[in-house]
């Protein structure tokens, strides 16, 4: 269950950025639902690639491993916790926080909102002390810029 579903969501614990992308919601959703493509639009620079065991296409409850690097190489397993094609997709890992994409059709494309939702984070103190909300805002802005650039006409 996502934090927004259990009614305990604090909007101050959701980092949210929106951009217009010149592609249909389905086209963008197809990219987001393919874990092997995540590294192509990763603004954080931490995603290396999807692990071989990752599904080709995500679905609700699907688990997918990613090879990552922040200083050192590591692996992380995510679980899809929201899936409403082609409107919304979100996943989380053992830390409990959620990465979410919301897609809304508009004339000439899609408004894409990426969110880092740390309402359900298992370490709220670490989130604050390490300044992850602000750091993730920068990464989200870069990710959305890469996504928009990918579909620029």
Q: What is the dihedral of CA 84, 101, 145, 34, to 10 degrees?
A: -60
Contact 22, 148 (CB under 8 A): yes
Please state, in angstroms and rounded to a whole number, the distance separating the CA atoms of residues 48 and 66: 7
Residue 100 has φ and ψ, to the nearest 5°, of -130, 145
Please state, in angstroms and rounded to a whole number, the distance separating the CA atoms of residues 79 and 91: 5
pLDDT in tens, 76-111: 999 999 999 999 999 999 999 999 999 999 999 999
Global pTM value: 0.92
Dihedral sign of CA atoms 132, 116, 92, 71 in order: negative
Residue 21 pLDDT > 90: yes
Please state, in angstroms and rounded to a whole number, the distance separating the CA atoms of residues 120 and 84: 20
> What pLDDT score does 8 carry?
74
Once rounded to an integer, what is the mean pLDDT over residues 62-69?
A: 97
pLDDT in tens, 110-153: 999 999 999 999 999 999 999 999 999 999 999 999 999 999 97
Q: Taking the domains of the chain in order of start, what are their residue ranges?
A: 11-150
Identify the architecture of domain 11-150 in CATH: 2-Layer Sandwich (3.30)
3-state SS of the chain is: CCCCCCCCCCHHHEEEEEEEECCCHHHHHHHHCCHHHHHHCCCCCCEEEECCCCCCCCCCCCEEEEEEEECEEEEEEEEEEEEECCCEEEEECCCCCEEEEEEEEECCEEEEEEEEECCCCCCHHHHHHCCHHHHHHHHHHHHHHHHHHHCCC
């Amino acid at each position: 269950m996502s934090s927004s579903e259990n009614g305990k969501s604090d909007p101050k614990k959701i980092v949210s950025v929106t951009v217009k992308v010149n592609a249909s919601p389905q086209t963008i959703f197809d990219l987001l639902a393919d874990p092997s493509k995540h590294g192509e639009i990763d603004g954080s620079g931490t995603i290396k690639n999807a692990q071989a065991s990752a599904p080709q296409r995500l679905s609700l409850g699907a688990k997918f491993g990613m090879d990552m690097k922040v200083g050192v190489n590591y692996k992380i397993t995510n679980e899809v916790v929201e899936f409403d094609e082609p409107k919304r997709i979100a996943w989380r890992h053992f830390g409990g926080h959620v990465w979410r994409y919301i897609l809304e059709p508009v004339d000439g494309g899609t408004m894409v909102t990426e969110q880092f939702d740390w309402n359900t984070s298992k370490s709220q103190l670490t989130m604050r002390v390490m300044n992850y909300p602000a750091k993730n805002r920068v990464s989200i802005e870069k990710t959305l810029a890469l996504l928009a650039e990918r579909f620029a006409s």
